[in-house]
Structure 1
Amino acid sequence: MEFASVSVRCSMSIAMFVLMMSASLEAMAEAGTTSSASLAKVKRERVTCNSRRSRCFMRYVTCPVECPQVKPKDPKAKACYLDCYTPKCEAVCRKRKPNCSGMGAACYDPRFVGGDNIVFYFHGRSEEHYALVSDTDLQVNARFIGLRPVGRSRDFTWIQALGLLFGPHTFTLEAARAETWSDDIDRLRFSYDGTSVTLPESPDSEWSSSGDEIKLERTASKNSVTLIVQEALELYVSVVPITEEDDRIHSYGIPRNDSFAHLEVQFRFFGLSPRVDGVLGRTYRADFENPAKPGVEMAVVGGEDRYRTSSLLSSDCAACVFAPGDDKEVSFLRQYAMLSCTSGVADGIGMVCRK
């Protein structure tokens, strides 16, 4: 009788388990169906490119089902993106904030990912300015903030502001000082040609210059934006603090009256000239040999003296080449720098190369 009782209990347990699993699977299936149905209800937007240099010029492409909107209301959702400067005229999904592990990134203290995809560090000094990119008609400088704890031989530094020079125009973007950090307060500050720019604190707010040379849009209601300089670059920016955990791990020695709010950025350049230079810019040159070898932990690349500028909007570093409109040959090379004859039309922009 005892054996029979145990068998009955086991049978009942197995039956209950099967019923629970069936209910769980049905719930998952229903949730998946609901999720798919929700995505299907969102109207898929169509995107195009306004640059005549693009294969996608005035060609409308429908966004993927997985990311149907260019500016989703959920700041964590991926957005629809059409890359105007690759041969593949196809809309894809991507995040709207900097990817600190992606090409062109400059994050942390500060850690760069070059155009050759090699990771390196550049320390510099606190309260000084350095040319991250210097090209014939584009200059991007950075202001570093930092501190030097007792017993250290160099400063800990972070990027606090960026200064852009393009053609006759200038633009600055900086992280305002925050004694204590709060996600509810926007710390981004902007100026265009010396005049302050106001950008409303809503995820879909935008600002453009009068001639549309530059466009600024929020990717979150606070502390994250995308900056586009026509025919030159896309820049993804977020403001972040040094957290107590960061301070503990790295022994920065952050004081209690400063969160050291700084920028995390990721650049995407279009048609840099063969003469491009700068802390980051040099890594995009075909002839550049990065001394920071892949896999080397904390590889530091120097050049402080070559790339130091006198201010955030100066192009007076020893290696700077910024001279807009002075060299027609370089302008021509820059205009067609994205064309490639190495693989037929696979890497070019609508051009077939012949010997």
Structure 2
Amino acid sequence: MKMKPTMSIYSLITILLLCSSLVSTMAAQTVEESLATKMKKKKGSSSSSQPKRRDSVTCYNRRSKCFLKHITCPNECPEIKPKYSNSKACFLDCYSPKCEAVCRMRKPNCNGSGAACYDPRFIGGDGIVFYFHGKSNQHFALVSDTNLQINARFIGHRPAGRTRDFTWIQSLGIVLGTHSFTLEATKAEKWTDEVDHLRLTYDGYPLTLPEGHYSKWGSRSSSGNGMIRVERTSRRNSVLVILRDVAEIFVNVVPITEEDNLVHNYQIPNNDSFAHLEVQFRFIELSPEVEGILGRTYRPDFKNPAKVGVEMPVVGGDEEYRTSSILSPDCKNCVFSIGKSNLSAPKIPMEFGTIDCTKMDGCRK
């Protein structure tokens, strides 16, 4: 007896055709997906390789060679105010002979011209490194000009057996015209970066500067913006102080670290981190009569007494530059006069170059 086939030849052919169609469809989808993935990667790669949008900078001072010229920032620092505080920012020096945007950090460079850091180590306007020790809990004039007075209060510690104090700059007092501004590092038993150790005043009143990168404050006058502006350059403990058309001051508050204590044998007590300031000044214009521990180094006729080649060249001046308070311009060599109009006084335009004084024997432009 013959068995009937369970599937006809036509049914088998139909199934084979359906399977072939399904395989073709799946293969086409796979190719299409592969092409789409490649296109997406190519597009992503193309967009990531494109340079970031670059800011432009300009100057609004009519005396500047860059007045109202729009200069594009370099690729290396495309933003005037980068998101991260440790990134270089785009900057246009309105008073430089070169009208070009450059990159720079928004923190003090302790190896650059105008720096005052450590146990105070200064780098003068002439590029020469020198030390000025002063005395603990006393005030000294860093800069005294016809319209500007900048004093510093020193804190210090003298271990048993030493003949002098270790000293650091704890605060700055600035008198500009008839207005005053102070900036100080507050005492901290144990240092923490999570606490802001800056205290500010303007014309004798406490000044509140909210925490946060780029938080800012500016003085006001009857004619609009005032002469002093303060801007944070990190969330806490770092600021830029701008004295309009006069100077810029970069400031950090830092402690004496355990490593510093061991290396230099400071022997600081356990209940004080000796929070102090690292400072770098950038002056726009100064008079030929400018005085002060740092200010005199910007005079065209100044001969620095610091001995080149000496490991720690110390200069004197305690008696000549000691002041009675953080805001008093009463040192023996001070030239500032409160309330005196100095608009007609001759000024020396500062020439700015990149100076990095990493050697103890000084440096030159």
TM-score of the pair, normalised by structure 2: 0.80
2:323 aligned residue: 309
Shift of 1:293: 2.9
Of 140, 160, 168, 2:150 maps to: 140
Mapping for residues 82-161 of structure 1, pairs under 5 Å: 82-161=92-171
Structure 1 residue runs of 5 or longer lacking an equivalent are: 1-29, 341-355
The 1:51–1:256 alpha-carbon spacing in structure 2 relative to 1, beyond 3 Å, is same
Deviation digits for residues 231-268 of structure 1, max 9, x if unmatched?
Answer: 11000000000001100111111100000000000001
8 Å contact from structure 1 (residues 273, 331) kept in 2: no
Rounded Cα–Cα distance in structure 2 between residues aligned with 1:331 and 1:318:
24
- Matched residue SS, 2:259: helix
Rounded Cα–Cα distance in structure 2 between residues aligned with 1:245 and 1:192:
35
The one-letter amino acid paired with 1:46 is S
Is 1:214 the equivalent of 2:228?
yes
Shift of 1:326: 3.9
8 Å contact from structure 1 (residues 163, 312) kept in 2: yes
2:282 aligned residue: 268
Of 243, 248, 253, 1:239 maps to: 253
Deviation digits for residues 178-209 of structure 1, max 9, x if unmatched?
Answer: 00000111101111111111111111211111
- Matched residue SS, 1:130: strand
Rounded Cα–Cα distance in structure 2 between residues aligned with 1:312 and 1:339:
26
Is 1:321 the equivalent of 2:335?
yes
2:300 aligned residue: 286
Q: How many residues align?
A: 305
Q: Could you tell which deviates more after superposition, 133-142 or 291-300? A: 291-300
Shift of 1:49: 1.5
8 Å contact from structure 1 (residues 39, 66) kept in 2: no
Rounded Cα–Cα distance in structure 2 between residues aligned with 1:127 and 1:34:
60
Shift of 1:171: 0.4
8 Å contact from structure 1 (residues 112, 119) kept in 2: yes
8 Å contact from structure 1 (residues 118, 293) kept in 2: no
- Matched residue SS, 2:249: strand
Rounded Cα–Cα distance in structure 2 between residues aligned with 1:215 and 1:299:
35
Shift of 1:37: 3.4
Rounded Cα–Cα distance in structure 2 between residues aligned with 1:35 and 1:108:
48
Rounded Cα–Cα distance in structure 1 between residues aligned with 2:345 and 2:299:
17
8 Å contact from structure 1 (residues 39, 65) kept in 2: no
Is 1:196 the equivalent of 2:206?
yes
The 1:310–1:36 alpha-carbon spacing in structure 2 relative to 1, beyond 3 Å, is farther
Structure 2 residue runs of 5 or longer lacking an equivalent are: 1-40, 352-365
Structure 1 vs Structure 2 CA RMSD: 2.0
Rounded Cα–Cα distance in structure 1 between residues aligned with 2:46 and 2:190:
39
Shift of 1:312: 0.2
1:333 aligned residue: 346
Rounded Cα–Cα distance in structure 1 between residues aligned with 2:294 and 2:270:
32
Rounded Cα–Cα distance in structure 2 between residues aligned with 1:315 and 1:239:
25
1:40 aligned residue: 51
Shift of 1:325: 6.1
Rounded Cα–Cα distance in structure 2 between residues aligned with 1:35 and 1:307:
61
Rounded Cα–Cα distance in structure 1 between residues aligned with 2:47 and 2:216:
30
Rounded Cα–Cα distance in structure 1 between residues aligned with 2:139 and 2:274:
17
Rounded Cα–Cα distance in structure 1 between residues aligned with 2:304 and 2:131:
12
The one-letter amino acid paired with 1:332 is A
Of 187, 197, 221, 1:187 maps to: 197
8 Å contact from structure 2 (residues 143, 296) kept in 1: yes
Deviation digits for residues 119-174 of structure 1, max 9, x if unmatched?
Answer: 00000000000000000100000000001111111110000000000111000001
The 1:246–1:38 alpha-carbon spacing in structure 2 relative to 1, beyond 3 Å, is farther
2:88 aligned residue: 78
The 1:112–1:244 alpha-carbon spacing in structure 2 relative to 1, beyond 3 Å, is same
8 Å contact from structure 1 (residues 173, 189) kept in 2: yes
Rounded Cα–Cα distance in structure 2 between residues aligned with 1:231 and 1:65:
28
Structure showing greater Rg = 2
Rounded Cα–Cα distance in structure 1 between residues aligned with 2:66 and 2:301:
30
8 Å contact from structure 2 (residues 251, 278) kept in 1: yes
1:345 aligned residue: none
